[in-house]
Homo-oligomer: A and B are copies of this chain.
Amino acid sequence: MPDDQPLPLLDRLSALLGPRGILTDPADLEPHLADWRLLYRGRTPCVLRPANTAELAEAVKLCAAAGVPLVPQGGNTSMVGGGVPDEGGRQVVVSLARLNRVRDIDPLDMTMTAEAGVVLKAAQDVAAEAGCLFPLSLGAEGTATIGGVLSTNAGGNTTVRYGNARELMLGLEVVLPDGQIWNGLRRLRKDNTGYALRHLFVGAEGTLGFITAAVLRLYARPKESEVALCAMRDEETALALFRRFRDRDETAVRAFEYMSGTGVGFYARLIEGGSVPLSTPAEHYVLVDLASTRPDAGLRPLLEAVLEEALEAGEVLDAAIGESEAQRAAIWRIREEHPEAQKREGASVKNDVSVPVSRTPELIRRASEACRRLIPGVRPVPFGHMGDGNIHMNLQQPEGMDPAAFLARSHDIMETVNEIVRDLGGSFSAEHGIGRLKTDMMEGWRGGPELAVMQRIKRAIDPQGLMNPGKVLP
């Protein structure tokens, strides 16, 4: 089918999905052509908006029979161009936005069945109304959808305690590339009956089919929490503090975030009301967030005792404990505003990498040094989830350098960081996935038998190659 030829199925799809179920007006297509980072801007003949799983399945059958490639789309918050069509104009976008029901919630079972189009924040709210917690939490939660966070196995701040999206999923409903519906919405903690297909669809970024609904695990709501900001002597003592907390109470650490003095400095200088509750600037900081479902957990004495030990050992240089909800939020804001502060300071190159938790200090130190050698004056701004090994190893342009000239070095910077990541047994994509942006890195990082098996699985499940073409696999 050559580019821009009208989609021959349009009449049949319109009859199937009705006027609300298909968009063809260019103005209506516009929001579906690019993700929020605007990395790519594609074209599509139409956007399908099925009302339910059965409608989607019928539409997929029609498209499969006609050889029409499909691009599943959730909240368009991909960091790697995972949910947008290419420039060819043939790929049909399928929005799951109308599959937005929470089908059931069971606080005794601690499960919730939510459709793909339910926004993450809405899922959190439904859980909260039932007295439970759906713990997945990330910056884009007001827009990202359940289908999207499962398809990308999203991470976020609380992975150290609750795991990634994968660990919060018990069962799936999937529309396969041939339009068959697999109802795997089981709510079981134990079910050893053949291959774990659900784990194949989670993280497949829509290249093996459409996740249309999922059984999600719920947790109890914490009744007590504490947040502290600590100035640390160096990278090693930052990790040592994590271990001190973990040794004292393995389950209490809800988040353990590292920040550099450079990043905290940007925040203080560039964000309105951006104050830091410690008087002397340091080169290294951590944010500790403790939580417990016990009302009498004694987190405050635990926090104080650990900090005192670490202060005496010279590991913690200074620390501030949030004394109110507002103060705790203000500490979290230092971490959350890092991307915005970086943006205001000029051009930056982002690396979403992970290493074994024990190697995070070495990653931060070695990658910072290597980038400084590569580009004199470059300002490393590493921050992120030290407790799970996922550091956003970002680099800020040297002061006064032309932003475009700096960005022209992006590839060199990424290569420099990734060489160290590889040496430390790490990953080039920790929580953002592959999408379109990183497909050309798959051969170098996952090549050989691993990529070959992935490709065989892709061909086995999607023999026509119609599901989200050009994503994940090279």
Residue ranges of A at the interface with B (Cβ–Cβ < 8 Å)? 106, 108-111, 152-153, 155, 159-160, 164, 166-167, 176, 180-182, 184, 186-197, 199-200, 202-204, 208, 219-220, 239, 243, 246-251, 292-294, 296, 298, 302, 354-359, 385, 388-390, 425-434, 438, 442, 445-446, 448-451, 453-454, 456-461, 472-473
Contact = CB atoms under 8 A, between A and B. Distances in A.
Contacts of A445: 193
Nearest to A240: B108
Contact of A108 (B191, B196, B358, B454): B358
A194 B454 contact: yes
Instruction: Kindly name the residue among A186, A192, A195, A425 whose own CB sees the greatest number of chain B CB atoms within 10 A.
Output: A192
Contacts of A110: 246, 357
Contacts of A428: 193
Contact of A188 (B184, B356, B458): B356
Nearest to A431: B190
Contacts of A193: 427-429, 433-434, 438, 442, 445-446
A194 B434 contact: yes
A344 B422 CA distance: 58
B186 A453 contact: no
Copies in the complex: 2
A442 to B, nearest CB: 6
A76 to B, nearest CB: 18
A458 to B, nearest CB: 8
A459 B459 CA distance: 11
Contact of A432 (B153, B192, B427, B450): B192
A250 B446 contact: no
Contact of A167 (B167, B433, B453, B459): B167
Contact of A190 (B292, B390, B461, B472): B390
Given A106-B356, A294-B248, A358-B108, A192 B450 contact: no
A108 B357 contact: yes
A184 B111 contact: no
Contacts of A204: 195
A453 B182 contact: yes
A81 to B, nearest CB: 14
Lowest 7 A-B CB distances belong to which pairs? Answer: A199-B199, A109-B358, A460-B460, A251-B251, A189-B388, A190-B430, A191-B427
A356 B184 contact: no
A192 B78 CA distance: 13
Contacts of A427: 186, 188, 190-193
B450 A189 contact: no
Nearest to A295: B248
A53 to B, nearest CB: 13
A195 B203 contact: yes
A450 B184 contact: yes
